[in-house]
Structure 1
Amino acid sequence: MKNKYRILKIVITVIILGFLLSFSLKKFSGQKITDNKISVRMNEKTPVYFIDEKDIREIVNKENPSRKVGDLNIPELEKKINALPAVDSANVYLNLNGKLNLDIKQRVPVFRLNKDGKDFYVDEKGVEFPISKTYSHPCMLVTGNVKKDEYQKLAELVEKIDKDDFSKKYFIGISKDRNNDYNLLTSEGNYKVEIGDLDNIDFKVKGFKTFVEKYLVYQDAQKYSMISVKYQNQIVTTLNPYFKENDSLLKARGKDLAKISENTILKKEKQLVAKVSEIKKTAPAKTQAAKPKEVRKAEKKAPANQKQRQKLK
């Protein structure tokens, strides 16, 4: 009998708990998800603005017109947000107080690729996604027939350029030519830096840096059309056929310096001539003034000699 009473108590307790739980769930399901109960957080380190909080709230309201907790399909909503091209990942969950949380990470472009007349972004994972009509992210421009299996290495190259002060100053773009060689476009002059493939990038950039510091700084940047560092342990330069030595900035500077030196020499010569002329003008005046003094001294000495002669007599 005691065991029967215990079993009966357990059954009654379970029924009561189930009733209370169902009542709570029914009440929780009937709660409204108001705007102040929707929390949208963008978790990317680099600020990008392909989508904003307003866009996410519109998707939430579209997926749940009644705004009731019970009518919200969280897995479907999460799937919809993850399907957005600019979204890298999305996590959607509800709190016990009925607050809807959406943690979203957007894709951050590493470079913008112009391929076959089309423009699109590529992120650090090598994933393509379209450009936005409302927002343009500043990043390296790449042109040419770049293959998808090269995206990862190309993204690594762009990141290295962004982190290095020298490279960031010189390189403003990347192009791939018909020979499948990569070229770095520079901010100074019209020349390209040919690097060939995407291997040994650090060594190639170091070679170009040495060439700039030891040679190119003393030359006119317009003199070259190509500087190739793709070959091991050597740098090959291609001259610009339209460059004229007479138009060299360095020669112009040399002429300016020559003019400056000539002008300084002429000024010094004029100063010397002026000093000599002043000396000549002052010299005769001094000699003329000296003669009367000598005569007066001679006249004063004469009476003394006469007295000496009278004594001798």
Structure 2
Amino acid sequence: MHIKWKKIIITALDIVLAIYLIIAVTSWNKPDESKLLCTQVNINISDSNNAGFLTATEIKQILKKAHLYPLNKKISDINPRKIEEALKVGPFVNTAECYKTKDGHINIYITQRMPIIRIKSNNGADYYLDDNGGILPNSKYTSDLIIATGNIDNNFARLYIAPLAKAISASPLWLNQIEQINVLPDRGIELVPRIGNQIIFMGYLPRNNGPWKRKHDINIFVTKKLSRLEKFYRYGLSQAGWNKYSYIDLEFDNQIICRKRDEKTEKAEEEALLKQPKSEQAEEIQRTEEEEREKARKEVKHQEDATAGLTE
């Protein structure tokens, strides 16, 4: 009986000693925040160099306006939670994380909402959409984003234009080739390419009330249409010339309907050519044809390089 009590006392003393050592080590390693000042603020923003709205300077200005910028303040007076909440109020911030370091630094990590398209509708609206269909207000931001124009209200923009833009942007070829989406009064979709003077009519986006099904159907719809257009680019326009047609209709699955350029425009060009001496006419015709073919060959080669791995 005497031996058991002795063991219990020794065990209790060991536990107390271990707790004391843990508390002592922790207190020794913990800096005295009452005297420590913030000497550096590190602001890290995801995708800051890739079509993002936010910069470290803008984050600094937001915190200064809220009197929360931590530089040269006592570490004990800095509240990371308040900094996070102040940043999350901004329309372009997706997530914000802030924490202190033992050497007096404040680290701020931000993920931002990324714009995928700019909306400039007939009703005067001007804003951006992110890849989830969220509306981002207009700003001084500039980029080579696709612009959507025409008969667009906020609901149609969020539910249909956003997934359409996301599907187009998934392909490097079409992200670089398509510069504008135009919505007709009957909600038909037109595309305006960067190269070529034609308008491309895709048809009508599939309508569905379920968000997942709607996004899925639009993605399939866009993929099929643009796959057919890619083949037409490679095997049709590369031979006929990029300015041969003014309108390309992809609405029907079993055919591509093309409309030639306006006759008045072509006639004016022909008349201007006829006014030149015959020797210059021949040279001009040959030069124009050769340039057109060479331009088509280069563009097809560029597209093939940009879409390496795509099946024809």
Do the structures match in fold with TM over 0.5?
yes
Are 2:100 and 1:79 equivalent residues in the alignment?
A: no
Q: Which has the higher contact order (CA 8 A, sep 6+)?
A: 2
Residue 243 of structure 1 aligns to a residue in which SS? helix
Over 3 Å counting, the alpha-carbon distance change for 1:213 and 1:70 in structure 2 is closer
Q: Structure 1 residues 192, 71: CA separation in 2 closer, same or farther (over 3 Å shift)?
A: same
Partner of 1:79: helix, strand, or coil?
helix
Highest Rg: 1 or 2?
1
1:41 pairs with 2:44? yes
Q: What SS is found at the alignment partner of 2:37?
A: coil
Matching residue within 96, 108, 112 for 1:102: 108
Q: Could you tell me which amino acid in structure 1 is paired with residue 253 of structure 2?
A: Q
Aligned residue in 1 for 2:128: 121
On the 8 A contact 1:48/1:106 being kept in 2, the answer is no
Q: What is residue 94 of structure 2 aligned with on the other side?
A: 88
Q: What whole-Å deviation, never above 9, does each CA across 1:89-108 have from its counterpart, x for those lacking one?
A: 22211223332111122333
Aligned residue for 1:184? 191
Aligned to 2:222: 201
Against the structure 1 CA distance between its residues 193 and 151, is the aligned structure 2 distance closer, same or farther, given a 3 Å change threshold? Answer: closer
Report if the CA contact (8 A) 1:126-1:155 is conserved: no
- Provide the rounded CA distance (Å) in 2 between the counterparts of 1:71 and 1:56: 20
The amino acid that maps onto 2:68 is E
Q: Alpha carbons of 1:60 and 1:31: their partners in 2 closer, same or farther (altered >3 Å)? A: farther
- 1:32 paired with 2:31, answer no
**Deviation of 1:11 (Å):** 6.8
Tell me the secondary structure at the aligned position of residue 32 of structure 2. helix
Write the letter of the residue equivalent to 2:226: V
Aligned alpha-carbon RMSD (Å): 4.0
Alpha-carbon separation, structure 1, partners of 2:167 and 2:271: 34
Does 2:178 match 1:171?
Answer: yes
What's the TM-score, normalizing by structure 2?
A: 0.63
Residue identity matched to 1:132: S
Q: Percent of aligned positions with the same letter in both sequences?
A: 21
Q: Secondary structure at the match of 1:63?
A: coil
Question: Which structure: greater helix fraction?
Answer: 1
Amino acid of the structure 2 residue aligned with 1:221: N
Write the deviation string for residues 289-311 of structure 1: whole angstroms up to 9, x where unpaired. xxxxxxxxxxxxxxxxxxxxxxx
Give distance in 2, aligned partners of 1:210 and 1:177.
26
What residue is the counterpart of 2:54 in the other structure? 51
The change in CA–CA distance for 1:55 and 1:171 in structure 2 (over 3 A counts) is closer
Contact 2:45 2:54 in 1 (8 A): no
- In the alignment, structure 1 segments of 5+ residues that lack a partner are 262-313
CA drift of 1:232 comes to 0.8
What CA distance in whole angstroms lies between the structure 1 residues aligned with 2:90 and 2:103?
28
Aligned residue type for 2:92: A
Tell me: CA distance 1:10–1:246, structure 2 relative to 1, closer, same or farther (3 Å): closer
1:234 match: 255
Q: Distance in 2 between matches of 1:242 and 1:252?
A: 15
Q: Residue 149 of structure 1 aligns with which residue?
A: 159
Whether contact under 8 Å (2:99, 2:106) holds in the other structure is yes
Paired residues in the alignment total 253
Give the conservation status (yes or no) of the 8 Å contact 2:129–2:162.
no
Find out whether 1:140 has 2:146 as its counterpart: yes
Q: What is the CA-CA distance between 1:50 and the residue it aligns to? A: 3.0
Once the two structures are TM-superposed, the CA of residue 184 in structure 1 deviates from its matched residue by 0.7
How far did 1:47 drift?
Answer: 3.1
Counterpart of 2:128 in 1: which secondary structure? strand
The aligned residue for residue 288 of structure 2 is: none
2:158 counterpart letter in structure 1: K
Q: Does structure 2 retain, via aligned residues, the 8 Å contact 1:111–1:158?
A: no
